[in-house]
């Protein structure tokens, strides 16, 4: 369990504060193995037999409780912006097409608009995705929730001493009694129910196990564990989930904040310990530093079991979903974002580029093609190597031998000492070099001659009508990407 903090938290597990988060995504494990279900009909860690099928080369050997090959990811969008119903519907439909099992919506008790939007999204008739809503452990919230048409209700209440004292002011006896009342009411409506503690890792273990055992016996579909303040580490997560797996027969959902950078590692450790559901968010957006990012978890799971992930999700849609959410909340997709970031499949160092061109697996654990992406080999810099330049020469159908390619590479590196050369710059140098060699105006080692040829070409290019029109219009030059087939 996490050590207590000097200052009690002012917020919860990220759900209750997300009053504008009207479109979340949830992922719960795949179809449970045949004839292996819990008494309440849910899949669970006990039911999964040891898995011996081949997975990714870097996955751990499965044990009896591991769910790294059978899981569902729960995703959420939190925005520091206003989401219109139109935007929420667009996100919901895209998440459905992507393949998520659940979308969790803001509590209808948050506002009249939240309730109206919840009802509207429930009527979309999504193909794969069930709609849930997130509520407090309170009968008033539960009554509102079941009237919206949702497929399930996610109930949460703080169980740590911090939240019991400074948030809702109730003791564990009251929490247990109210949880039973809310759960039995929701179950009577024939929809799914999850009960989650809040601030689980700063709660007393006997309190947690007692209430989880109680709600499991009355038939919840899932119990939830929440690292509300992001204090847990993977070992703590594994220990708690493994212990809980021995206490309950229902599914186990987990929710990890990223305040200390462990959200993805914690999610993976939870799956190894027998958890079945992981809360994620597109781009990791959420309270404070956010929660487990959908793309980051997908990347981790692709290494563990690529066949499972590729069969489960429409991976090329990931970039489109992230771009949509980023635009909606008015942020940029980070340059180093998992899978879809500008630098995710970019290679620069000469040694790296040579190896990548020979075999992409040398410096890539993920295949960009699986996500509809392409790799980019950057060659307009001082670290570039002649093998990477040779690959570009071949792409441009230029006829240069190795000695000539090395000579052209030396010029690229020389110019890159002054400023980084764009791909357009590199292509110009290579074409001018090629023309000079084959016209007889240039020989290997004549750097000054090549400088004059480049100056002449640039002067001619800049005086052309097309170039002047482009300058007047102010059209920015786009950096071309190296073709996937020829750089792989």
Catalytic residue IDs? 352
Q: Do 102 and 75 form a contact (C-beta atoms < 8 A)?
A: no
| Closest C-alpha to 451, from 468, 472, 432, 469 | 432
| Backbone phi and psi for residue 400, each to the nearest 5 degrees, phi listed first | -130, 140
* 3-state SS track over the chain: CCCCCCCCCCCCCCCCCCCCCCEEEEECCCCCCCCCCCCCCCCCHHHCCCCCCCCCCCCCCCCCCCCCCCCEEEEEECCCCCCCHHHHHHHHHHHHHHCCCEEEECCCCCCHHHHHHHHHHHCCCCCCCEEEEEEECCHHHHHHHHCCCCCEEEEEEECCHHHHHHCCCCCHHHHHHHHHHHHHHHHHCCCEEEEEEECHHHCCHHHHHHHHHHHHHCCCCEEEEEECCCCCCHHHHHHHHHHHHCCCCCEEEEEEECCCCCHHHHHHHHHHHCCCEEEEEHHHCCCCCCECEHHHHHHHHHHHCHHHHHHHCCHHHHHHHHHHHHHHCCCCCCCCCCCCCCCCCEECCHHHHHHHHHCHHHCCCCCHHHHCCCCEECCCCCCCCHHHHHHHHHHCCCCCCHHHHHHHHHHHHHHHCCCCCCHHHHHHHHHHHHHHHHHCCCCCCCHHHHHHHHHHHHHHHHCCHHHHHHHHHCCCCCCCCCCHHHHC
């Amino acid at each position: 369990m996490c050590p207590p903090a000097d200052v009690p938290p002012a917020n919860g597990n990220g759900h209750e504060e997300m009053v504008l988060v009207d479109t979340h995504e949830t992922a719960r494990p795949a179809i449970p193995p045949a004839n292996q279900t819990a008494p309440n009909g849910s899949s669970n860690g006990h039911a999964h037999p040891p898995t011996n099928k081949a997975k990714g080369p870097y996955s751990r050997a499965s044990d009896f409780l591991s769910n790294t090959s059978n899981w569902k990811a729960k995703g959420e969008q939190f925005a520091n912006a206003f989401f219109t119903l139109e935007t929420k519907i667009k996100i919901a439909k895209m998440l459905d097409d992507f393949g998520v099992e659940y979308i969790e919506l803001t509590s209808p008790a948050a506002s009249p608009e939240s309730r109206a939007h919840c009802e509207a999204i429930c009527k979309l008739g999504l193909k794969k995705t069930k709609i849930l809503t997130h509520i407090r452990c309170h009968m008033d919230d539960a009554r509102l929730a079941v009237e919206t048409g949702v497929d399930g209700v996610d109930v949460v209440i703080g169980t740590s001493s911090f939240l019991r004292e400074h948030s809702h002011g109730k003791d564990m006896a009251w929490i247990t009694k109210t949880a039973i009342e809310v759960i039995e009411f929701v179950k009577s409506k024939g929809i799914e129910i999850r009960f989650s503690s809040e601030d689980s890792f700063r709660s007393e273990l006997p309190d947690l196990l007692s209430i989880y055992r109680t709600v499991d016996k009355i038939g919840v579909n899932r119990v939830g564990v929440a690292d509300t303040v992001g204090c847990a580490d993977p070992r703590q997560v594994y220990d708690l989930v493994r212990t809980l797996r021995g206490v309950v027969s229902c599914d186990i959902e987990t929710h990890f904040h990223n305040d200390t950078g462990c959200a993805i590692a914690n999610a993976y450790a939870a799956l190894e310990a027998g958890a079945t559901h992981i809360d994620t968010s597109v781009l990791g957006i959420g309270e404070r530093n956010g929660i487990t990012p959908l793309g980051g978890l997908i990347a981790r799971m692709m290494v563990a079991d690529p066949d499972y992930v590729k069969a489960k999700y429409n991976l090329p849609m990931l970039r489109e979903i992230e771009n949509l959410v980023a635009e909606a909340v008015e942020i940029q997709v980070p340059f180093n974002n998992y899978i879809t970031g500008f630098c995710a499949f970019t290679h620069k160092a000469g040694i790296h580029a040579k190896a990548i061109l020979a075999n992409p697996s040398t410096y890539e654990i993920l295949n960009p093609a699986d996500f509809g992406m392409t790799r980019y080999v950057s060659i307009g810099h001082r670290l570039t190597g002649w093998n990477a330049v040779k690959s570009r020469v071949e792409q441009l159908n230029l006829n240069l031998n190795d000695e000539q390619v090395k000579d052209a590479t030396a010029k690229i590196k020389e110019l890159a000492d002054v400023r980084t050369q764009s791909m357009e710059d590199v292509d110009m140098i290579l074409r001018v070099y090629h023309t000079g060699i084959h016209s007889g105006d240039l020989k290997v080692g004549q750097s000054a001659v090549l400088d004059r040829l480049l100056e002449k070409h640039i002067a001619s290019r800049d005086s052309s009508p097309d170039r002047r029109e482009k300058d007047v219009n102010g059209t920015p030059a786009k950096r071309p990407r190296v073709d996937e087939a020829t750089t792989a």
